[in-house]
Structure 1
Amino acid sequence: MNANFAERLAELPQYLSAHVVLSMCALLAGIVLSIPLGIQAARRPRLAAATLNAASVIQTIPGLALLALMVPLLGGRIGFLPAFIALMLYSVLPILRNTIVGLQGIEPQIREAARGIGLTDRQRLWQIELPLALPVIVAGLRTATVWVVGAATLATPVGATSLGNYIFAGLQTRNWLSVLFGCVFAAGLAIVLDQAIRLLEIATRDRRRGLAIGVGVFLAVLVAASIAPRFVPPGQAGTVAAGESPGAVQNIAGQTVTIGSKAFTEQYILGALMQRRLEEAGARVVRRDNLGSTIAFDALRSGEIDVYIDYTGTIWATVMNRSEPAGRYRMFTEMSAWLWVEHGILTLGRLGFENAYGFAVSREFSEAQGVDSLDDLSAIAGDLTVGGDPEVFARSEWTATRDVYGLGAARTRSMDNTFLYAAAHDGQVDVITAYTTDGRIAAFDLTVLDDPRGVLPPYDAVILVSPQAAQRPGLAAALGPLVGAIDDDAMREANRRVDLDGDTPAGAAAWLDERIAEQ
């Protein structure tokens, strides 16, 4: 069996089970909220208008934005809870609207007839109105099911495990089989749940008790099988690594350590590298991949993750809101002190390489336009299209570069990092924001432009430890040997192995670990 396929298949139980639980919990909560509210609103036109307007406003918020908003609203919490609340809110509109429409669409004569034979309000609701409105309500529930199952794939950036893990990781590492797995199984789950609801409607309408029991048992087994084993596979205790003290291993053995990482190849590799070191020391590791920059920092600050790798320039500009230029050592020193004093976050040290934001062009463009530095772009700014990842154009690095080098007339175009380098190579954009340790710079024959005015800050990779984890013995001892152990060339080669050779992040991490051991 193909190794890539086998690895994706091995991940399926964890991702699919988490996706089922998240989707089903959000749908059940949406039903519990929406149907009683819809029953009350159907009898009160003003309440109906107000509730539908509120639900419609929530529905207009893009799913990823709604999920991301839950993190700061919940005090930096990531994982299941923010995803559950966002998806529950997302499910409300179709169920609520169809409940109101279904009940309001019942002929007045039917209600009068029910009153005429002496039925109470409760009896009319349960024996006449809800059965008649059921097809419309179920149609709304089926719509909500498809929406929620689809939107749950977007829960990955807020730290909730789902089939979206396949999609986000696959896009960043150019693993199209992984993307296909996420899409196919998410669509399959939506179809299965949609048809289960349809069968329940048929069983209720035709009073087919056996069919209803069968579908109910199927759904119960599906949820039970998803809850039981697998949100996170158990970490495996390892042996004492060469050069490590038995005391350090004993201190961390048996502990659970949550590693965070952002949504690009280098972060997956470094997350896998830390996982290897911690599991060798006997820790059980939980991974929270594909986090945004601010979400990762907030999660570290609140203790939702224990450790992750960030970059000095990112903390300086995005978290500390410092825009003035600073040298490498001053930035590292001030950043470390600020993190400890303000948040109790420990900066364990620099890994030894810098992954800076840079601006790159194709070699053909560079030669044709005579462009070697950012200064050279100002004369042609009005004709430029600058491509960047969705985050960069909201960051101070871009605004400072734009203002200092006179690029205000350039058009900007956001796209996923997966497609940036090929877009520059193919001439679809003129300039891109590139990561300087990315192996695709050489692979796509791109030229990184000089920054003669020193606008772009240093981006030394650093290990950050949460306030809670900083107090736990053994973690620093397990990860300490990584400090100063990875140079630019090693990181660039590890990235190239994944992005261009099709290796997995875990495979690249193993290669990197061996290289460190040989030093």
Structure 2
Amino acid sequence: MSLFTDPRWGEALGHLPDYLGNHVRVSLAALALGLIVSLPLAILTRNRPTPRAVLLALASIVQTVPGLALLALFYPLLLLAASVTLAWFGVSFSAFGFLPAMLALALYSMLPVLRNGITGLNGIDPALIEAAKGVGMTARQSLVMVELPLALPVMMAGIRTAAVWVIGTATLSTPIGQTSLGNYIFAGLQTQNWVFVLFGCFASALLALAVDQLLGLIESGLRWRSRGRAALGAAGIAALVAATLVPTMGRSSQSYVVGAKTFAEQYVLSALMRDRLQAAGLSAVARSGLGSSVIFEALKAGDIDLYVDYSGTLWANQLHRTDIKPRAELLAELKTTLAKENITLLGELGFENAYALVIPKKRAEALGIRTIADLAAHASTLSIAGDYEFFSRPEWAALQKAYGLSFRAQRQMQPDFMYAAVASGEVDVIAGYTSDGLIAKYDLVALDDPRHAIPPYDAILLLAPKRAGDERLRAALKPLLGKIDIATMREANLRAAGNDANSSPDAVARWLWEKVGGR
């Protein structure tokens, strides 16, 4: 099968109305907000050197912040603001998805609009402004009838640049809950689905080019006083917005939102739960690619309705516990603590996905390494790789404290890339996951943890406070509880890493249900 006959292209097309529609809406809303703020500021500061310099410096500083970081920073800020408005005024708002993405992208759009606006206005021949005064024009009339029309080409160039930047950066909004064309890219990277990665990149690029050309039509129409060209460009933008609204018109506003974190297992499980809800006659959508802290806060706030987490993650990250308890005690205490926040721990799925230090089996045998304690004696000569969270997590601190680990070097990688890296000798050890099928595929071994530095990591299903008494939801999910053993989950994860037509999260979720549905 060639790349271009791969059936995953059809699956990608199936997601396009949702992903593209959300991408267009957040991008155009952010661009509009950026223009509303930036253009008046450019006009007000054009003849004021000090405020102008400060404004451009601040806008430039925003550009130095990586796009993903800027998007992520708005989520906790808005969470805090939402809690304040709830406490003071009795009203709140969602800090998840659209709002933080729109605000961050609006900030990101400001520099080219400000810079080109100020440059265009200050580049006008002073003699023309004096001539306007000479014929009796007021300052406002001169601005509207002379300065802005003359500066328009330069200003439109800035707006077009801002539009392209915003559309490109919007692909990074997936981890904070905003559906976008970035969903293709994040899901594709995590599941090694290069069809999705290519599709997301091409779709984003084509959208940016289309919007740029439509804005170019408006620009040329205004410059040459061609109402037809300007109207055609405006109609194109309006048609694009209208087309993105159509798919949402028939969608139920009562859809259940199934959350998922940023790795393949989570994509598969969210697709499985979505399918089970839909099979029970409930409207459901998956919201994937969310960060660990974002997804839990989103559940608390009711922005998502359910997701699968891991007992050890909640124990360490949310409860900030460093003590290790037996599995049953930990789960019981976790359930009680979550209940105080009206979060329902519905049950365990039946498998554990704990962090584990993983090394090639042949290398472990050659060095006589069977446990993490054995590894500690060799760590100073070895390198280790982990996912983007691992080295800042309490589990890593606990491992260092329990075993005195000190590696020669440590690196961060995409989770799926780590396994190939350790198998090829690019790194010596990785912080892998016990339910990952790639351990067997690459002939690796997960080292024992005799000092129990890492807590149990049972996969558990959580429900949002607003779904606590939802019996239809519980009934639809009950067939999954206790049915997915570690061997089955490893095989599912291995299938998800296959990079073929049967490796998409949707396909693996269907396979997984066939395996566990009759148990």
TM-score past 0.5 threshold: yes
The residue that corresponds to 1:42 in the other structure is 46
Q: Deviations over 1:302-336 (max 9, x none)?
A: 00011110000000111111112222111111111
2:514 is matched with 514
- Amino acid of the structure 2 residue aligned with 1:360: V
* Residue in structure 2 matched with residue 105 of structure 1 by the alignment: 123
Tell me what 2:339 maps to: 340
1:102 to partner: Cα distance: 2.0
Pairing 1:143-162 to 2, within 5 Å after superposition: 143-162=161-180
Which residue in 2 is equivalent to 1:278? 277
Give the superposition deviation at 1:11.
1.5
Using the TM superposition, give the Cα deviation of residue 435 of structure 1 relative to its aligned residue in structure 2, in angstroms: 1.1
- What displacement does 1:368 show? 3.6
Q: Distance in 1 between matches of 2:241 and 2:395?
A: 46
Query: Which amino acid in structure 2 is aligned with residue 269 of structure 1?
Result: V
Which residue pairs with 1:295 in the alignment?
294
- Match for residue 383 of structure 1 among 378, 381, 384: 381
Contact kept in structure 2, 1:440 and 1:500, CA below 8 Å: no
1:14 aligns with 2:43: no
The answer to whether 1:328 aligns with 2:327 is yes
**Corresponding residue to 2:208 among 186, 190, 212:** 190
Which secondary structure does the structure 1 equivalent of 2:96 belong to?
coil
**Contact persistence 1:381–1:406 (CA under 8 A):** no
Query: In the alignment, which residue of structure 2 is the partner of 1:228?
Result: 246
Which of 90, 93, 103 is 1:85 aligned to? Answer: 103
Change (3 A) 1:477 1:518: closer
- Secondary structure of residue in 1 paired with 2:517: helix
Instruction: Look up the match of 2:461.
Output: 463
Structure 2 Cα separation of the partners of residues 429 and 116 of structure 1 = 74
Give the equivalent residue in structure 2 for 1:486: 484
Deviation sequence 1:68-107 (CA, Å, 0-9, x none): 1222222262121221111111111211122122222333
Q: d(CA) in 1 for partners of 2:154 and 2:434?
A: 55
Q: Once structures 1 and 2 are overlaid, which stretch shifts more, 148-157 or 444-453? A: 444-453
Query: For residues 490 and 414 of structure 1, what CA distance do their matches in structure 2 show?
Result: 28
Is the Cα contact below 8 Å between 2:216 and 2:233 reproduced in 1? no
Counterpart AA for 1:74: L
Q: Which runs of 5+ in 2 are unaligned?
A: 80-93
Range 138-147 or range 181-190, more displaced:
138-147
CA distance change for structure 1 residues 128 and 234 in 2, over 3 Å: closer, same or farther? Answer: closer
Q: Retained in 2: the 8 A contact 1:269–1:505?
A: yes
Shift of residue 453, structure 1, vs aligned partner: 1.3
Which residue number in structure 2 is paired with residue 212 of structure 1? 230
Cα distance between partner residues in 1 of 2:186 and 2:395? 25
The match for 2:85 is none
1:391-410 equivalence runs, <5 A:
391-410=389-408
Q: Separation in 2 of the partners of 1:35 and 1:501?
A: 47
Amino acid in structure 1 at the alignment position of 2:383: T
In 1, the alpha carbon distance for the partners of 2:444 and 2:450 equals 19
Residue identity opposite 2:193 in structure 1: N
Equivalent-residue separation in structure 2 for 1:279 and 1:221 (angstroms): 32
Q: Where does structure 1 lack aligned partners over 5 or more consecutive residues?
A: 236-253
> 2:124 and 2:401 mapped to 1: Cα distance?
63
1:55, CA displacement in angstroms? Answer: 1.9
Structure-2-length-normalised TM-score? 0.92
CA contact (8 A) 1:259 1:306 kept: yes
Q: Counterpart of 1:229 in 2: which secondary structure?
A: helix
Report the counterpart of residue 86 of structure 2 in structure 1. none
**Partners in 1 of 2:107 and 2:377 — Cα distance?**
49
Looking at structure 2, the residues matched to 131 and 358 of structure 1 have their Cα atoms a distance apart, in angstroms, of 64
Deviations 1:455-483 (A, max 9, x none): 11110000001111113332112212221
Asked if 1:265 is matched to 2:264, the reply is yes
Deviation at 1:424, TM superposition (A): 0.8
CA contact (8 A) 1:255 1:283 kept: no
Residue aligning to 1:440: 438
Tell me the TM-score normalised to structure 1 length. Answer: 0.92
Q: Find the aligned partners of 1:501 and 1:191 in 2 and give their Cα distance.
A: 29
Whether contact under 8 Å (2:193, 2:499) holds in the other structure is: no
Residue number in structure 2 paired with 1:247: none
Tell me what 2:221 maps to: 203
Partners of 1:139 and 1:441 lie apart in 2 by 52
Cα distance in 1, alignment partners of residues 154 and 108 from structure 2: 19
Cα deviation, residue 234, structure 1: 4.5
Contact 2:191 2:499 in 1 (8 A): no
Deviation at 1:409, TM superposition (A): 4.3
Tell me if the contact between 1:79 and 1:161 (Cα under 8 Å) persists in the aligned partners. Answer: yes
Q: 2:56 aligns with which of 41, 52, 67?
A: 52
Return the alpha-carbon distance in structure 1 between the equivalents of residues 276 and 231 of structure 2: 49
Superposition RMSD on alpha carbons, in Å?
1.8
Secondary structure, counterpart of 2:436 in structure 1: coil
Is the 1:170–1:176 Cα contact (8 Å) retained in structure 2? Answer: yes
Distance 1:189 1:489, change over 3 A: same
CA distance in 1 between counterparts of 2:280 and 2:307 reads 17
- The corresponding residue for 1:61 is 65
Q: Which secondary structure state, in structure 2, belongs to the residue aligned with residue 262 of structure 1?
A: coil
**Shift in Å at residue 60 of structure 1?**
2.0
Structure 1 position 256, deviation (Å):
2.4
User: Superposition pairs for residues 360-379 of structure 1, below 5 Å?
Assistant: 360-379=358-377
- Tell me if structure 1 keeps the 8 A contact 2:181–2:204: yes
From the superposition, tell whether residues 382 and 110 of structure 1 become closer, same or farther in structure 2 (CA, over 3 Å): farther
Query: What whole-Å deviation, never above 9, does each CA across 1:201-237 have from its counterpart, x for those lacking one?
Result: 2221111221111111111111111122248x858xx
Q: Secondary structure at the match of 1:451?
A: coil
Cα pair 1:299 1:305 within 8 Å, conserved: yes
